[in-house]
Amino acid sequence: MNDKPALSNLAAIDAAHHLHPFSDMKELNARGTRIIERAEGVFIYDSTGRKYLDAFAGLWCVNVGYGRKSIAEAAYRQMQELPYYNSFFGTTTPPATLLAQKIASHAGDRLKRVFFTNSGSEATDTWFRMARVYWKALGKPGKTEVIARRNGYHGSTVAGASLGGMKLMHEQGNLPIEGIHHIGQPYWYAEGGDLSPAEFGLKAARELEAKIEELGDDRVAAFVAEPIQGAGGVIIPPETYWPEIARICKAKNILLVVDEVICGFGRLGEWFGHQHYGVEPDLAPIAKGLSSGYLPIGGVLVSDRVADVMVGELGDFYHGFTYSGHPVSAAAALENIRIIEEEGLVERVRDDIGPYFAKAWKSLEDHAVVGEAESVGLMGGLQLSPDKATRRRYAKPDDAGILVRNHCLENGLVMRATADRMLASPALTISRAEVDEVVEKLRKALDHLRDTVKE
Protein backbone atom coordinates (compact mmCIF):
# COMPACT_ATOMS: atom_id res chain seq x y z
CA MET A 1 0.00 0.00 0.00
CA ASN A 2 1.36 3.35 -1.02
CA ASP A 3 -0.47 5.64 1.40
CA LYS A 4 2.39 6.67 3.69
CA PRO A 5 2.42 10.35 2.56
CA ALA A 6 -1.27 10.61 3.42
CA LEU A 7 -0.65 8.99 6.78
CA SER A 8 2.10 11.43 7.71
CA ASN A 9 -0.52 14.13 7.38
CA LEU A 10 -3.27 12.23 9.15
CA ALA A 11 -2.98 13.89 12.55
CA ALA A 12 -3.57 17.30 10.95
CA ILE A 13 -6.51 15.99 8.92
CA ASP A 14 -7.90 14.42 12.08
CA ALA A 15 -7.66 17.68 13.98
CA ALA A 16 -9.43 19.48 11.13
CA HIS A 17 -12.31 17.07 10.60
CA HIS A 18 -12.77 14.35 13.19
CA LEU A 19 -14.65 14.82 16.46
CA HIS A 20 -13.73 12.01 18.86
CA PRO A 21 -15.99 10.33 21.43
CA PHE A 22 -15.47 11.23 25.10
CA SER A 23 -12.67 13.67 24.27
CA ASP A 24 -11.72 17.23 25.09
CA MET A 25 -11.14 18.21 21.46
CA LYS A 26 -9.20 21.36 22.19
CA GLU A 27 -6.76 19.46 24.34
CA LEU A 28 -6.58 16.50 21.93
CA ASN A 29 -5.94 18.66 18.89
CA ALA A 30 -3.15 20.48 20.70
CA ARG A 31 -1.54 17.18 21.71
CA GLY A 32 -2.18 15.35 18.40
CA THR A 33 -3.99 12.08 17.86
CA ARG A 34 -2.18 8.77 18.09
CA ILE A 35 -2.80 6.83 14.90
CA ILE A 36 -3.14 3.08 15.29
CA GLU A 37 -2.35 1.31 12.04
CA ARG A 38 -2.31 -2.42 12.64
CA ALA A 39 -2.49 -5.10 15.27
CA GLU A 40 -1.68 -8.74 15.87
CA GLY A 41 -2.44 -10.93 18.88
CA VAL A 42 -2.43 -8.62 21.91
CA PHE A 43 -0.21 -5.98 20.28
CA ILE A 44 -1.13 -2.78 18.47
CA TYR A 45 1.23 -0.63 16.35
CA ASP A 46 1.02 3.11 15.79
CA SER A 47 2.02 5.18 12.76
CA THR A 48 5.47 5.88 14.20
CA GLY A 49 6.09 2.14 14.33
CA ARG A 50 5.77 1.90 18.12
CA LYS A 51 4.41 -1.32 19.55
CA TYR A 52 2.11 -1.51 22.58
CA LEU A 53 0.76 -4.42 24.56
CA ASP A 54 -2.97 -3.73 24.60
CA ALA A 55 -4.05 -4.85 28.07
CA PHE A 56 -7.48 -3.46 27.35
CA ALA A 57 -8.54 -5.49 24.29
CA GLY A 58 -9.41 -2.34 22.35
CA LEU A 59 -12.29 -1.15 24.48
CA TRP A 60 -13.02 -4.31 26.50
CA CYS A 61 -13.97 -6.11 23.30
CA VAL A 62 -11.28 -7.88 21.27
CA ASN A 63 -11.74 -11.13 23.19
CA VAL A 64 -10.15 -13.45 20.59
CA GLY A 65 -7.22 -11.06 19.96
CA TYR A 66 -6.27 -9.15 16.82
CA GLY A 67 -5.42 -10.58 13.40
CA ARG A 68 -7.99 -13.37 13.05
CA LYS A 69 -8.06 -14.00 9.31
CA SER A 70 -10.92 -16.46 9.57
CA ILE A 71 -13.24 -13.73 10.85
CA ALA A 72 -12.23 -11.46 7.96
CA GLU A 73 -12.86 -14.33 5.54
CA ALA A 74 -16.27 -15.13 7.02
CA ALA A 75 -17.29 -11.48 6.61
CA TYR A 76 -15.90 -11.37 3.06
CA ARG A 77 -17.77 -14.52 2.03
CA GLN A 78 -21.02 -13.22 3.50
CA MET A 79 -20.58 -9.84 1.84
CA GLN A 80 -20.23 -11.48 -1.55
CA GLU A 81 -23.21 -13.75 -1.04
CA LEU A 82 -25.62 -11.33 0.64
CA PRO A 83 -24.22 -8.06 2.00
CA TYR A 84 -27.50 -6.96 3.50
CA TYR A 85 -31.04 -7.91 4.04
CA ASN A 86 -33.38 -6.94 6.86
CA SER A 87 -35.38 -8.93 9.36
CA PHE A 88 -38.33 -6.55 9.59
CA PHE A 89 -41.09 -7.79 7.30
CA GLY A 90 -41.18 -11.53 7.73
CA THR A 91 -37.66 -12.27 6.49
CA THR A 92 -34.32 -13.18 8.00
CA THR A 93 -30.83 -14.18 6.80
CA PRO A 94 -29.02 -17.41 7.65
CA PRO A 95 -26.28 -15.80 9.79
CA ALA A 96 -28.74 -13.80 11.92
CA THR A 97 -30.87 -16.83 12.72
CA LEU A 98 -27.92 -19.14 13.31
CA LEU A 99 -26.25 -16.56 15.53
CA ALA A 100 -29.35 -16.25 17.72
CA GLN A 101 -29.34 -20.04 18.13
CA LYS A 102 -25.61 -20.10 18.86
CA ILE A 103 -25.82 -17.39 21.53
CA ALA A 104 -28.79 -19.12 23.16
CA SER A 105 -26.84 -22.40 23.28
CA HIS A 106 -24.44 -20.80 25.76
CA ALA A 107 -27.01 -18.92 27.83
CA GLY A 108 -28.69 -21.67 29.83
CA ASP A 109 -32.22 -22.97 29.46
CA ARG A 110 -34.13 -19.77 30.33
CA LEU A 111 -32.51 -17.30 27.91
CA LYS A 112 -33.42 -18.69 24.52
CA ARG A 113 -34.13 -15.63 22.39
CA VAL A 114 -32.11 -12.72 21.04
CA PHE A 115 -33.11 -9.30 19.68
CA PHE A 116 -30.23 -7.84 17.61
CA THR A 117 -28.83 -4.30 17.72
CA ASN A 118 -25.58 -2.69 16.50
CA SER A 119 -24.13 -1.71 19.84
CA GLY A 120 -24.42 -1.96 23.59
CA SER A 121 -26.15 1.42 23.77
CA GLU A 122 -28.84 0.29 21.36
CA ALA A 123 -29.16 -2.89 23.42
CA THR A 124 -29.81 -0.70 26.46
CA ASP A 125 -32.53 1.26 24.66
CA THR A 126 -34.01 -2.01 23.49
CA TRP A 127 -34.35 -3.72 26.89
CA PHE A 128 -35.55 -0.44 28.43
CA ARG A 129 -38.49 -0.31 26.02
CA MET A 130 -39.05 -4.06 26.28
CA ALA A 131 -39.34 -3.94 30.07
CA ARG A 132 -42.06 -1.30 29.94
CA VAL A 133 -43.88 -3.04 27.10
CA TYR A 134 -43.76 -6.30 29.06
CA TRP A 135 -45.51 -4.90 32.12
CA LYS A 136 -48.05 -3.04 30.03
CA ALA A 137 -48.91 -6.23 28.17
CA LEU A 138 -49.46 -7.91 31.54
CA GLY A 139 -51.99 -5.23 32.46
CA LYS A 140 -49.60 -3.24 34.68
CA PRO A 141 -48.96 -0.06 32.69
CA GLY A 142 -47.94 1.76 35.87
CA LYS A 143 -44.78 -0.33 36.21
CA THR A 144 -42.49 2.03 34.29
CA GLU A 145 -39.71 3.14 36.65
CA VAL A 146 -36.23 1.71 36.26
CA ILE A 147 -33.55 1.63 38.94
CA ALA A 148 -29.85 1.70 38.06
CA ARG A 149 -26.65 2.54 39.94
CA ARG A 150 -24.39 5.50 40.44
CA ASN A 151 -21.16 5.07 38.49
CA GLY A 152 -22.72 2.35 36.32
CA TYR A 153 -22.26 2.53 32.53
CA HIS A 154 -24.84 1.43 29.99
CA GLY A 155 -24.01 3.48 26.90
CA SER A 156 -24.25 6.93 25.38
CA THR A 157 -27.71 7.12 23.84
CA VAL A 158 -30.26 9.15 25.79
CA ALA A 159 -31.54 6.08 27.63
CA GLY A 160 -28.01 4.70 28.01
CA ALA A 161 -26.58 7.90 29.46
CA SER A 162 -29.64 8.26 31.71
CA LEU A 163 -29.38 4.73 33.07
CA GLY A 164 -25.65 5.10 33.55
CA GLY A 165 -24.70 6.75 36.77
CA MET A 166 -22.10 9.16 35.41
CA LYS A 167 -22.63 12.65 36.76
CA LEU A 168 -20.66 14.35 34.00
CA MET A 169 -22.80 12.66 31.35
CA HIS A 170 -26.01 13.69 33.12
CA GLU A 171 -24.88 17.29 33.25
CA GLN A 172 -24.72 17.43 29.45
CA GLY A 173 -28.30 17.44 28.16
CA ASN A 174 -30.65 17.43 31.15
CA LEU A 175 -30.30 13.77 32.01
CA PRO A 176 -31.48 11.42 33.34
CA ILE A 177 -34.79 11.32 31.52
CA GLU A 178 -37.90 10.78 33.60
CA GLY A 179 -38.51 7.44 35.23
CA ILE A 180 -34.90 6.55 36.01
CA HIS A 181 -33.51 6.36 39.55
CA HIS A 182 -30.07 5.57 40.90
CA ILE A 183 -28.86 3.76 43.99
CA GLY A 184 -25.31 3.32 45.32
CA GLN A 185 -22.63 1.02 43.98
CA PRO A 186 -20.99 -1.90 45.83
CA TYR A 187 -17.61 -0.15 46.03
CA TRP A 188 -16.35 -1.36 49.38
CA TYR A 189 -12.86 0.21 49.23
CA ALA A 190 -14.22 3.74 48.89
CA GLU A 191 -17.57 3.55 50.59
CA GLY A 192 -17.52 0.54 52.92
CA GLY A 193 -16.31 2.42 56.01
CA ASP A 194 -15.93 0.09 58.99
CA LEU A 195 -18.16 -2.64 57.57
CA SER A 196 -16.64 -5.87 56.35
CA PRO A 197 -16.96 -6.39 52.56
CA ALA A 198 -19.67 -9.00 53.19
CA GLU A 199 -21.69 -6.64 55.39
CA PHE A 200 -21.24 -3.80 52.94
CA GLY A 201 -22.35 -6.00 50.00
CA LEU A 202 -25.66 -6.63 51.78
CA LYS A 203 -26.05 -2.98 52.69
CA ALA A 204 -25.47 -1.85 49.09
CA ALA A 205 -27.94 -4.44 47.77
CA ARG A 206 -30.58 -3.41 50.27
CA GLU A 207 -30.52 0.11 48.88
CA LEU A 208 -32.45 -1.47 46.02
CA GLU A 209 -35.11 -2.76 48.38
CA ALA A 210 -35.44 0.66 50.02
CA LYS A 211 -35.71 2.41 46.65
CA ILE A 212 -38.41 0.00 45.45
CA GLU A 213 -40.34 0.56 48.67
CA GLU A 214 -39.97 4.31 48.27
CA LEU A 215 -41.30 4.23 44.69
CA GLY A 216 -43.80 1.42 45.26
CA ASP A 217 -43.41 -2.06 43.71
CA ASP A 218 -46.42 -1.42 41.51
CA ARG A 219 -44.41 1.35 39.80
CA VAL A 220 -41.02 -0.31 39.30
CA ALA A 221 -40.36 -2.20 36.05
CA ALA A 222 -36.73 -3.24 36.39
CA PHE A 223 -33.32 -2.96 37.98
CA VAL A 224 -30.16 -2.94 35.85
CA ALA A 225 -26.54 -3.57 36.80
CA GLU A 226 -23.30 -4.80 35.27
CA PRO A 227 -22.03 -8.04 36.93
CA ILE A 228 -18.82 -6.06 37.56
CA GLN A 229 -18.92 -2.33 36.86
CA GLY A 230 -16.51 -1.84 33.96
CA ALA A 231 -16.08 1.78 32.92
CA GLY A 232 -16.84 2.76 36.53
CA GLY A 233 -13.51 1.25 37.55
CA VAL A 234 -13.81 -2.57 37.62
CA ILE A 235 -15.74 -2.42 40.86
CA ILE A 236 -15.96 -6.06 41.94
CA PRO A 237 -18.92 -6.52 44.28
CA PRO A 238 -18.56 -8.44 47.57
CA GLU A 239 -19.82 -12.04 47.29
CA THR A 240 -22.94 -11.20 49.28
CA TYR A 241 -24.14 -8.60 46.79
CA TRP A 242 -25.58 -10.47 43.80
CA PRO A 243 -27.55 -13.16 45.68
CA GLU A 244 -29.23 -10.41 47.70
CA ILE A 245 -30.03 -8.38 44.56
CA ALA A 246 -31.58 -11.48 42.96
CA ARG A 247 -33.62 -12.17 46.10
CA ILE A 248 -34.97 -8.60 46.18
CA CYS A 249 -35.92 -8.54 42.49
CA LYS A 250 -37.81 -11.79 42.95
CA ALA A 251 -39.53 -10.75 46.17
CA LYS A 252 -40.59 -7.39 44.70
CA ASN A 253 -41.53 -8.83 41.31
CA ILE A 254 -39.34 -6.57 39.17
CA LEU A 255 -37.28 -7.57 36.14
CA LEU A 256 -33.58 -8.16 36.71
CA VAL A 257 -31.48 -6.81 33.84
CA VAL A 258 -27.84 -7.89 33.85
CA ASP A 259 -25.71 -5.81 31.48
CA GLU A 260 -23.36 -8.34 29.87
CA VAL A 261 -21.79 -5.94 27.36
CA ILE A 262 -18.35 -6.27 28.97
CA CYS A 263 -18.67 -9.43 31.07
CA GLY A 264 -20.22 -11.60 28.36
CA PHE A 265 -18.33 -13.97 26.06
CA GLY A 266 -15.76 -15.31 28.45
CA ARG A 267 -14.32 -12.31 30.26
CA LEU A 268 -15.14 -13.70 33.74
CA GLY A 269 -14.37 -17.33 32.88
CA GLU A 270 -17.97 -18.20 32.06
CA TRP A 271 -19.88 -17.47 28.87
CA PHE A 272 -21.79 -14.76 30.75
CA GLY A 273 -21.07 -12.78 33.90
CA HIS A 274 -24.36 -13.73 35.54
CA GLN A 275 -23.29 -17.38 35.37
CA HIS A 276 -20.21 -16.52 37.42
CA TYR A 277 -22.42 -14.90 40.08
CA GLY A 278 -25.13 -17.59 39.88
CA VAL A 279 -28.04 -15.23 39.12
CA GLU A 280 -30.71 -15.47 36.44
CA PRO A 281 -31.48 -12.30 34.48
CA ASP A 282 -34.79 -11.62 32.78
CA LEU A 283 -33.04 -9.49 30.15
CA ALA A 284 -29.34 -9.27 29.30
CA PRO A 285 -27.83 -6.77 26.85
CA ILE A 286 -24.74 -8.02 24.98
CA ALA A 287 -22.24 -6.50 22.48
CA LYS A 288 -18.42 -6.15 22.43
CA GLY A 289 -17.12 -9.75 22.83
CA LEU A 290 -20.03 -11.04 20.72
CA SER A 291 -17.96 -10.18 17.63
CA SER A 292 -14.72 -9.36 19.46
CA GLY A 293 -15.16 -5.92 17.91
CA TYR A 294 -14.41 -7.14 14.37
CA LEU A 295 -17.75 -5.66 13.27
CA PRO A 296 -20.39 -3.79 15.25
CA ILE A 297 -23.15 -5.97 16.65
CA GLY A 298 -25.07 -6.19 19.91
CA GLY A 299 -28.32 -7.57 21.17
CA VAL A 300 -30.55 -8.42 24.10
CA LEU A 301 -30.90 -11.92 25.46
CA VAL A 302 -34.52 -12.39 26.44
CA SER A 303 -35.71 -14.89 29.06
CA ASP A 304 -38.78 -17.05 28.60
CA ARG A 305 -40.57 -14.91 31.17
CA VAL A 306 -40.42 -11.86 28.87
CA ALA A 307 -40.33 -13.73 25.57
CA ASP A 308 -43.52 -15.64 26.35
CA VAL A 309 -45.31 -12.29 26.41
CA MET A 310 -43.52 -11.02 23.29
CA VAL A 311 -44.31 -14.10 21.22
CA GLY A 312 -47.71 -14.37 22.93
CA GLU A 313 -50.29 -11.65 23.25
CA LEU A 314 -48.13 -8.55 22.73
CA GLY A 315 -48.62 -8.03 19.00
CA ASP A 316 -46.09 -5.73 17.32
CA PHE A 317 -43.08 -4.48 19.28
CA TYR A 318 -42.53 -1.17 17.46
CA HIS A 319 -38.77 -1.18 17.74
CA GLY A 320 -35.78 -2.16 15.63
CA PHE A 321 -32.82 -0.93 13.62
CA THR A 322 -32.11 -1.08 9.88
CA TYR A 323 -29.12 -3.22 10.74
CA SER A 324 -30.66 -5.44 13.42
CA GLY A 325 -29.13 -8.85 12.71
CA HIS A 326 -26.88 -7.49 9.93
CA PRO A 327 -25.78 -10.62 8.03
CA VAL A 328 -22.11 -9.61 7.71
CA SER A 329 -21.76 -8.69 11.37
CA ALA A 330 -23.62 -11.88 12.29
CA ALA A 331 -21.29 -13.98 10.13
CA ALA A 332 -18.28 -12.40 11.84
CA ALA A 333 -19.83 -13.01 15.26
CA LEU A 334 -20.53 -16.66 14.39
CA GLU A 335 -16.89 -17.18 13.44
CA ASN A 336 -15.78 -15.34 16.58
CA ILE A 337 -17.87 -17.66 18.77
CA ARG A 338 -16.60 -20.68 16.82
CA ILE A 339 -13.05 -19.61 17.72
CA ILE A 340 -13.96 -19.14 21.40
CA GLU A 341 -15.46 -22.64 21.42
CA GLU A 342 -12.73 -24.37 19.42
CA GLU A 343 -9.88 -22.85 21.42
CA GLY A 344 -11.70 -23.37 24.72
CA LEU A 345 -11.13 -19.72 25.62
CA VAL A 346 -13.85 -19.58 28.29
CA GLU A 347 -12.38 -22.61 30.06
CA ARG A 348 -8.88 -21.18 29.55
CA VAL A 349 -9.91 -18.03 31.41
CA ARG A 350 -11.60 -19.98 34.19
CA ASP A 351 -8.95 -22.66 34.77
CA ASP A 352 -5.63 -21.44 33.41
CA ILE A 353 -4.86 -17.87 32.37
CA GLY A 354 -7.47 -16.32 34.69
CA PRO A 355 -5.91 -17.84 37.85
CA TYR A 356 -2.44 -17.00 36.51
CA PHE A 357 -3.49 -13.39 35.90
CA ALA A 358 -5.16 -13.20 39.34
CA LYS A 359 -1.93 -14.21 41.08
CA ALA A 360 0.26 -11.84 39.06
CA TRP A 361 -2.21 -8.95 39.50
CA LYS A 362 -2.58 -9.63 43.24
CA SER A 363 1.22 -9.55 43.64
CA LEU A 364 0.99 -5.78 43.06
CA GLU A 365 -0.73 -5.44 46.44
CA ASP A 366 2.70 -5.41 48.08
CA HIS A 367 3.38 -2.07 46.39
CA ALA A 368 3.30 1.04 48.60
CA VAL A 369 0.71 2.87 46.49
CA VAL A 370 -1.66 -0.04 45.88
CA GLY A 371 -4.72 -0.32 48.12
CA GLU A 372 -6.01 -3.50 46.54
CA ALA A 373 -5.63 -5.45 43.30
CA GLU A 374 -8.67 -7.61 42.59
CA SER A 375 -9.74 -9.55 39.54
CA VAL A 376 -12.25 -12.03 38.22
CA GLY A 377 -11.26 -13.96 35.09
CA LEU A 378 -9.43 -11.47 32.90
CA MET A 379 -10.94 -8.34 34.37
CA GLY A 380 -8.71 -6.59 36.87
CA GLY A 381 -9.16 -3.47 39.00
CA LEU A 382 -6.31 -1.96 40.98
CA GLN A 383 -6.93 0.74 43.58
CA LEU A 384 -4.28 3.42 43.95
CA SER A 385 -3.90 4.65 47.50
CA PRO A 386 -1.26 6.75 49.27
CA ASP A 387 -2.05 4.94 52.54
CA LYS A 388 -3.51 1.48 52.35
CA ALA A 389 -3.84 1.09 56.13
CA THR A 390 -6.57 3.73 56.22
CA ARG A 391 -7.80 3.15 52.61
CA ARG A 392 -7.05 6.81 51.95
CA ARG A 393 -7.62 8.19 48.43
CA TYR A 394 -5.30 10.53 46.57
CA ALA A 395 -6.27 14.20 46.90
CA LYS A 396 -6.52 14.33 43.10
CA PRO A 397 -7.65 10.82 42.12
CA ASP A 398 -7.85 11.58 38.37
CA ASP A 399 -4.29 12.91 38.29
CA ALA A 400 -2.94 9.81 40.04
CA GLY A 401 -4.63 7.51 37.53
CA ILE A 402 -3.54 9.52 34.51
CA LEU A 403 0.05 9.66 35.75
CA VAL A 404 0.18 5.86 35.96
CA ARG A 405 -1.65 5.38 32.66
CA ASN A 406 0.67 7.74 30.79
CA HIS A 407 3.77 6.08 32.22
CA CYS A 408 2.45 2.73 31.01
CA LEU A 409 1.76 4.16 27.56
CA GLU A 410 5.26 5.63 27.29
CA ASN A 411 6.59 2.16 28.07
CA GLY A 412 4.45 0.36 25.52
CA LEU A 413 1.49 -0.75 27.62
CA VAL A 414 -2.11 0.30 27.06
CA MET A 415 -4.08 0.47 30.32
CA ARG A 416 -7.21 2.37 31.24
CA ALA A 417 -7.58 4.53 34.35
CA THR A 418 -10.89 5.43 35.95
CA ALA A 419 -10.02 8.11 38.50
CA ASP A 420 -7.64 6.34 40.93
CA ARG A 421 -8.25 2.82 39.68
CA MET A 422 -6.22 1.05 37.01
CA LEU A 423 -8.19 -1.34 34.81
CA ALA A 424 -7.08 -4.34 32.80
CA SER A 425 -9.15 -6.40 30.41
CA PRO A 426 -6.84 -8.14 27.95
CA ALA A 427 -7.71 -10.51 25.12
CA LEU A 428 -8.66 -13.99 26.38
CA THR A 429 -5.73 -15.31 24.34
CA ILE A 430 -3.06 -13.42 26.28
CA SER A 431 -0.04 -15.61 27.13
CA ARG A 432 1.58 -16.00 30.55
CA ALA A 433 4.66 -14.10 29.38
CA GLU A 434 2.43 -11.27 28.20
CA VAL A 435 0.63 -11.18 31.57
CA ASP A 436 4.06 -10.91 33.22
CA GLU A 437 4.91 -8.01 30.90
CA VAL A 438 1.68 -6.19 31.87
CA VAL A 439 2.43 -6.55 35.56
CA GLU A 440 6.11 -5.58 35.24
CA LYS A 441 5.32 -2.43 33.29
CA LEU A 442 2.48 -1.50 35.60
CA ARG A 443 4.79 -1.97 38.59
CA LYS A 444 7.27 0.51 37.11
CA ALA A 445 4.46 3.00 36.59
CA LEU A 446 3.42 2.52 40.23
CA ASP A 447 7.03 3.22 41.29
CA HIS A 448 6.80 6.42 39.29
CA LEU A 449 3.60 7.44 41.13
CA ARG A 450 5.19 6.61 44.51
CA ASP A 451 8.27 8.71 43.67
CA THR A 452 6.37 11.63 42.14
CA VAL A 453 3.30 12.27 44.27
CA LYS A 454 3.98 12.55 47.98
CA GLU A 455 0.94 12.85 50.23
Of 52, 127, 128, 153, which one interacts with ligand PXG (CB under 6 A)?
Answer: 153
Q: How far is the CB of 56 from ligand PXG (least distance, A)?
A: 8
Q: How far is the CB of 140 from ligand PXG (least distance, A)?
A: 27
Assess 241 for contact with ligand PXG (CB under 6 A). no
Q: How far is the CB of 314 from ligand PXG (least distance, A)?
A: 25
Q: How far is the CB of 174 from ligand PXG (least distance, A)?
A: 21
Number of residues interacting with ligand PXG: please give it, by CB under 6 A: 17
Among the residue ranges 175-183, 255-263, 306-314, 378-386, the one whose residues contact ligand PXG (CB under 6 A): 255-263
In the bound complex, which residue of the shown chain has the CB atom lying closest to ligand PXG? 120
Residues 395-424 that bind ligand PXG (CB under 6 A): 416
Assess 257 for contact with ligand PXG (CB under 6 A). no
Among the residue ranges 41-49, 113-121, 167-175, 302-310, the one whose residues contact ligand PXG (CB under 6 A): 113-121
Of 58, 65, 95, 120, which one interacts with ligand PXG (CB under 6 A)?
Answer: 120
Among the residue ranges 198-206, 225-233, 234-242, 301-309, the one whose residues contact ligand PXG (CB under 6 A): 225-233
Of 261, 297, 349, 358, which one interacts with ligand PXG (CB under 6 A)?
Answer: 261
Assess 121 for contact with ligand PXG (CB under 6 A). yes
Q: What would the 3-class secondary structure string for the chain be?
A: CCCHHHHHCHHHHHHHHCCCCCCCHHHHHHHCCCCEEEEEECEEEECCCCEEEECCHHHHCCCCCECCHHHHHHHHHHHHHCCCCCCCCCCCCHHHHHHHHHHHHCCCCCEEEEEEECCHHHHHHHHHHHHHHHHHHCCCCCCCEEEEECCCCCCCCHHHHHHCCCHHHHHCCCCCCCCEEEECCCCHHHHCCCCCHHHHHHHHHHHHHHHHHHHCHHHEEEEEECCCECCCCCECCCCCHHHHHHHHHHHCCCEEEECCCCCCCCCCCCCCHHHHHCCCCCEEEECHHHCCCCCCCEEEEEEHHHHHHHCCCCCCCCCCCCCCCCHHHHHHHHHHHHHHHHCCHHHHHHHCHHHHHHHHHHHHHHCCCEEEEEEECCEEEEEECCEHHHCECCCCHHHHHHHHHHHHHHCCEECEEECCEEEECCCCCCCHHHHHHHHHHHHHHHHHHHHHCCC
Binding residues for ligand PXG, per CB under 6 A? 59, 119-121, 124, 153-155, 226, 230-231, 259, 261-262, 287, 298, 416
